[in-house]
Homo-oligomer: A and B are copies of this chain.
Amino acid sequence: MSRYLDLLEASITRRGGRLCVGIDPDPAHLPAAFSQGEEGLRRWCELLISATADHAAAYKVNLAFFEAYGSGGMRVAESIRTLLPSDTPLIIDVKRGDIGSTVAAQARALYDVLGADAVTANPYLGIGALEPLLVREDRFVYLLCRTSNPEAPEFQELRVAADGSAPEEALYLRVARLAAARPEARAGRIGLVAGATAATAMARLREVAPNAPLLVPGIGAQGGDLAAVLAHGETTGTPSARVGGSLLVNVGRGISGSETDGRYTHPIGRPFGRVSVRSTERAEHRTWRTHPHSRRDPCGLRPRQTSGDWRRGGSIIPRVPQGDLRGG
């Protein structure tokens, strides 16, 4: 394996689940006390991390939400690594990709300044252009393959012509095929991003890249199907060919963004014991419970239907004095 996959596998075992907690501080979903400026942002991150640290096998920072706060937001982003347990991997979700000299600068920014163990990257400029991100033996790249958004098929599902040993297939499968064939993939340094909202695509992807570690966003606010992810997302290669951390399921707004009216009406007593999730596309309201890793539910997440209003279903915020929540 590789440093990152060893780290991730150990963390999954320790936390008892494949849950990746998304740190996506969208001001539209934060209470007013946290959405105003750098200090509120910092306190929100600290609360989210302290409330979820016992359950998160990894954290995924969506850097755009920090960038939107300007350089003050980037100062907070620079402190995230120190706020996390040292043995919990930090993924920085930035979907970068550029010509080589620029990617080298991106590698410094993400790996060295922000302390990312892994990043997400976009293949459109060619996987080889990402070399400065891929070459670091102690880091890892999740390459965008089939993303979770409704506009993804426009290019990702285009049929591309057969070429050499590759058959005619969808573009996202060609991305997976070429990624899986690279030496960095065999060395355990390339994974794929495969959205939970495209379960059929995930099954096909596993035929092309049976051993690739997957990062799966789209559960929760985006309406992805966790059962399908669990059915199709695991590695299908021979056990000896498998690399660790084969499936990591990210939940972002589903945990942190379940509140929009500026007040937490039902702060939960047990941090992240119950998290309300609004599934916007299906108009369903679900409650997720964390529980120990098991064969039947390797994510450590178990969905069940609830009849309650998602706004009242609790939040990631642990029980703290009201004054603290309202403080600036």
Interface residues of A (CB under 8 A from B): 24, 26, 62, 64-65, 67-72, 74-75, 77-78, 95-103, 105-106, 108-109, 113, 122-129, 144, 147-156, 158-161, 163, 168, 171, 174-175, 178, 222, 253
Shortest 7 CB-CB distances between A and B: which pairs? A126-B151, A67-B109, A126-B154, A71-B74, A128-B151, A159-B161, A64-B105
Given contacts A126-B151, A155-B123, A175-B155, contact A102 B62 (CB under 8 A): yes
**Residues of B close to A156: CB separation below 8 A:** 124-126
Q: A72 vs B161: C-alpha distance in the bound complex, in angstroms?
A: 46
**Residues of B close to A124: CB separation below 8 A:** 122-124, 144, 147, 155-156
- Min CB distance A139 to B, Å, is 15
Q: Is the CB of A68 within 8 A of B171?
A: no
Q: Is the CB of A108 within 8 A of B151?
A: no
Of the listed residues A97, A128, A151, A253, the one surrounded by the most CB atoms of chain B closer than 10 A to its CB is: A151
Q: A160 vs B154: C-alpha distance in the bound complex, in angstroms?
A: 12
Given contacts A124-B156, A125-B151, A158-B171, contact A105 B67 (CB under 8 A): yes
Q: Is the CB of B171 within 8 A of A154?
A: no
Q: Is the CB of A163 within 8 A of B154?
A: no
**Residues of B close to A123: CB separation below 8 A:** 124, 154-155
Given contacts A68-B113, A156-B124, contact A100 B26 (CB under 8 A): no
Q: A32 vs B174: C-alpha distance in the bound complex, in angstroms?
A: 44
Given contacts A129-B149, A154-B178, A171-B155, contact A99 B68 (CB under 8 A): no
List the number of copies, as a whole number. Answer: 2
Q: Is the CB of A64 within 8 A of B155?
A: no
Q: A62 vs B151: C-alpha distance in the bound complex, in angstroms?
A: 27
Given contacts A71-B74, A124-B156, A158-B163, contact A64 B171 (CB under 8 A): no
Q: A160 vs B77: C-alpha distance in the bound complex, in angstroms?
A: 40
Given contacts A122-B95, A124-B122, contact A102 B154 (CB under 8 A): no
**Residues of B close to A96: CB separation below 8 A:** 64, 95
Partner among B65, B97, B127, B149 whose Cβ is within 8 Å of the Cβ of A122: B97
Q: Is the CB of B149 within 8 A of A100?
A: yes
- Min CB distance A283 to B, Å, is 18
Of the listed residues A74, A127, A160, the one surrounded by the most CB atoms of chain B closer than 10 A to its CB is: A74
- Min CB distance A175 to B, Å, is 7
- Min CB distance A241 to B, Å, is 25
**Residues of B close to A178: CB separation below 8 A:** 154
Task: List, sorted by A's number, 17 A–B pairs whose CB atoms are closer than 8 Å.
Answer: A24-B102, A64-B98, A64-B103, A68-B106, A95-B96, A95-B98, A97-B122, A98-B149, A99-B147, A125-B147, A125-B149, A125-B152, A126-B153, A127-B151, A128-B154, A155-B171, A159-B160
**Residues of B close to A127: CB separation below 8 A:** 151, 154
Q: A72 vs B159: C-alpha distance in the bound complex, in angstroms?
A: 44
- Min CB distance A91 to B, Å, is 14
